[in-house]
Amino acid sequence: MKPTLILASSSPFRQQLLTKFNLPFESFSPDIDETPFKAETPEQLVARLSEQKAREAIKHFDEGLVIGSDQVAVFSNTILGKPHTKENAIKQLSAFSGHTVTFLTGLSVFDIKSGKAITTVVPFDVTFKTLTFEQINAYCDAEQPYNCAGSFKSEGLGICLFEKLSGDDPNTLIGLPLITLTKLLAEFGVDVLTLQGA
């Protein structure tokens, strides 16, 4: 029997990624305070927020496996926020030119019935090309990435900003590390492959 999977995320990109498993799932949009705690590291932050998102969803379901995920981008030991304006996006992208930004994705899986929970953090590095102002300006005009941490959309034209991507799973960059999720689900007795057609 297929388990009930619940994705605790309002992100359409995470929802689209989870469809790759070819398993039915429900989505729940958690409403949590994402403010970092004082002295909290980026790794601690994404682990805590992915857990909080999953715990918020648990309150609304009787059974199933809840998947929570959260992501931050880190540059020069600073968590990157969303730029909100073109001016701020240009500043961020100019700073990244020729440098590497690390994306940290917290991933939590909770079994509602048993209370068992596993949380991990998956890193992914993005090295930017050396970019001209003209390139950055044109990119911002074309994609308007003002609500994206790091000022780019890797699933779109943003891929043209990069020199190199480094990590175990390219899905991590979009916000849901599927290779790691497959391993975590196996810890709960869920084999994504053998459930196909079940």
Q: Is 74 helix (H, G, I), strand (E, B) or coil?
A: strand
By annotation, the residues acting in catalysis are: 70
Name 76's Cβ contacts closer than 8 Å, sequence gap at least 6: none
In the block, tokens 């601690």 appear at: 44
Instruction: Give phi and psi for 173, each to the nearest 5.
Output: -60, -30
Contacts of 124 (CB under 8 A, 6+ apart): 102, 103, 104, 105, 165, 166, 167, 168, 169, 170, 172, 173, 177
> CA 67, CA 118: separation in Å to the nearest integer?
10
Which H or E element spans position 28? Answer: strand 25-28
What's the angle, vertex CA 126, arms to CA 124 and CA 129, rounded to 5? 170
